[in-house]
Amino acid sequence: MSNSRLVAVTIIEKVLNENAYSNIVLGLELNKSELSDKDKALVTEIVYGTLKYKYTIDKILQHFVKNGFDKLESFVLNILRISVYQIRYLDKVPSFATVNEAVNLTKKKSNIGASKLVNGVLRSYLRETGEKYYNEENDIERLCFEYSFTKALVKLFIKQYGPQKAEEILKGLNYKPDVTVRVNTLKLTYKEIWEKLIENGYNIEEGYASSEAIRIIKGKNIENNILFNEGNITVQDESAMLTAPSMDLKPNMKVLDLCSAPGGKTTHIAEIMKNTGIVLAFDIHKNKLSLIEENIKRIGITNTTCEAQDATEYVPDLFEYADRVLIDVPCSGLGIIRKKPEIKWSKNIKDINNIIDIQRRIMDNASKYVKKGGVLVYSTCTLNKDENEGNIEWFLESHCEFKIEPVFFGEFDNIKYNDKGYVTIYPNEYMDGFFITKLIKS
């Protein structure tokens, strides 16, 4: 197995065994490797693909390792996982070559016995590629296997959205995301940035839902590009790009962003306000403030300051301070599985329920910071209704001075405008799952 596969296994080990974030550890490992751009792309494909289809892959492996699956050496198990992923989902490498490389790496990094096991399992799988590994009469098992989600998450989506919409969500969360960038019109026009990206060799398309978005279809790492380094563009999903415009921002306003790291929405707020007024960006994690400050400096923003602050703790000095308050609250992240597939395995229902109390404490504090006549925007990157609609209904019952003001982003198949005024964005090939509600204080 080539060095690229070893790097892929190393990354998966850290994600699954050490709870590392896939995007962060992938970047670190690729940067310190000496792999070619082609091999780096293959590692990225294998890592994200294996994490995405882990449930399905494990069901297949359990069919062939009937006894002792849970006792397999982690490194060996992950060699098996990336190999099944390549055989089942990739056409780039012949199956026999995948098997041979897996056996050789196991022999080198583990022992002869383990290499024989890997050889036997993979060759048995190649002989039985038409085998069914789940009960075809059980729709839950079918959805779990076909889309590679845990039963708990499949049941959650079915309970909240019904079988048909749940399957659409599962499908949407498995799309491979393109890189999307937001243009910074403080420096250049959309047309100028578009032309410069083409000059730099990028294959690009217009955004799907946001007028400020450009999709990068093909090209080198965008964060190594001069347009990014000079602050002309910011990498951001289109769902997140809709948040700041929903705040009805005006020049010279006072704005609070209570959960701001890494700063994508914060900088968007400042851009829309044309660098006027005051933007205060808070985050509980002091070490993450440097990310916001880096983005602010790179983009050329001068109206924003950053400070470490726990959004669940009330700050009396901020009472009715702000014209606009954004709370993009910490959440279960079930809407961004396209980009962080390990969320499928790192979240359980208990974790999801525990976070709701934190969200409501943030909502309660934020309500006190908004001036009368001001706007509070609540957003999440999850599709769990308890964190979305459930929290809004709780908030309105206990904060009668607020009412929902509907927002409209255009007619799109994946954007649902609820009769009560909040917006759910379903994941598709262009956008992550997201939730946005605009609230007015009387």
- Please indicate whether residue 381 is annotated as part of the active site: yes
User: What mean pLDDT comes out for the span 336-341?
Assistant: 96
The lowest-confidence range among 180-194, 221-235, 262-276, 428-442 is 221-235
Confidence of residue 302 (pLDDT cuts 50, 70, 90): very high
CATH number of 3-127: 1.10.940.10
pLDDT tens sequence across 133-179: 999 999 999 999 999 999 999 999 999 999 999 999 999 999 999 99
In this prediction, residue 2 carries a pLDDT of: 55
Vertex 179: Cα angle to 175 and 180 (nearest 5): 110
pLDDT tens sequence across 253-264: 999 999 999 999
Strand partners, 206: 214
Residue 158 CA to its chain's centroid (Å): 21
Secondary element (H or E) of residue 206: strand 203-206
Average pLDDT, the chain: 94
Confidence of residue 93 (pLDDT cuts 50, 70, 90): confident
User: What mean pLDDT comes out for the span 227-253?
Assistant: 97
User: What mean pLDDT comes out for the span 82-94?
Assistant: 92
Q: What is d(CA 156, CA 178) in angstroms, rounded to the nearest whole number? A: 27
Catalytic residue among 144, 306, 381, 400: 381
Structure tokens at 133: 């590994």
Is it true that domain 239-441 has CATH number 3.40.50.150?
yes
**CA-based nearest residue to 437, from 402, 399, 404:** 404
Q: What percent of the chain has pLDDT over 70?
A: 99
Q: Checking DSSP bridges between strand 213-218 and strand 179-183, what pairing results, if any? A: antiparallel
User: What mean pLDDT comes out for the span 420-442?
Assistant: 97
Binding positions for S-adenosyl-L-methionine are: 259-265, 283, 310, 328
Q: What is d(CA 285, CA 280) in angstroms, rounded to the nearest whole number? A: 15
CATH class in words for 179-235: alpha beta
In this prediction, residue 1 carries a pLDDT of: 43
Binding positions are: 259-265, 283, 310, 328
User: What mean pLDDT comes out for the span 404-413?
Assistant: 97
Asked if pLDDT for residue 347 goes beyond 90, the answer is no
Q: What is d(CA 35, CA 367) in angstroms, rounded to the nearest whole number? A: 50
Secondary element (H or E) of residue 381: none
Domain segments of the chain as ranges: 3-127, 139-173, 179-235, 239-441
By the 8 A CB rule, do 405 and 370 touch?
no
User: What mean pLDDT comes out for the span 305-309?
Assistant: 95
Helix spans in 33-149 (H) = 37-52, 54-64, 74-89, 95-109, 112-127, 139-147
Residue 371's identity, in one-letter code, is K
Q: What is d(CA 195, CA 198) in angstroms, rounded to the nearest whole number? A: 5
**CA-based nearest residue to 57, from 339, 337, 344, 338:** 344
Identify the residue whose tokens are 């890592």: 47
Asked if pLDDT for residue 271 goes beyond 50, the answer is yes
Omega prior to 262 cis, within 30 of 0: yes
